[in-house]
Amino acid sequence: MKINKIKEMSSPELEKELGELKNELFKLRFSLATNGLDNPMKIKEVRKDIARIKTVLKERELSQK
């Protein structure tokens, strides 16, 4: 997910997307541990998306203060 797309989303949408990405990351890690994963780079992509969303949410929180 691109940072421009993330910045266009509202805060509630970002919170929802963050929850979905955390759930996906859990499933990917579980899949990697149990039977192997077709694309292990997917874990890295999801982790970066989570970090991008958290960064945007923190920026918005600090700008409100």
Report the CATH number that the domain containing residue 46 is assigned in CATH: 1.10.287.310
Query: CA-based angle 40:52:9, to the nearest 5?
Result: 120
Judge contact between 34 and 2, C-beta under 8 A. Answer: no
Per-residue model confidence as pLDDT tens digits over 6-39: 999 999 999 999 999 999 999 999 999 998 888 9
pLDDT value, residue 63: 93
Q: What are 16's two structure tokens? A: 């929802």
In degrees to the nearest 10, what's the CA dihedral of 4, 10, 16, 17? 0
Judge contact between 2 and 48, C-beta under 8 A. Answer: no
Segment among 31-35, 41-45, 56-60 with least mean pLDDT: 31-35
Residue 2 pLDDT more than 90? Answer: no
pTM of the predicted structure, to 2 decimals: 0.90
Q: Which residue range is the domain that position 7 belongs to?
A: 3-64
Q: How far apart are CA 37 and CA 41, in angstroms?
A: 9
Give how many domains the chain has, as a whole number: 1
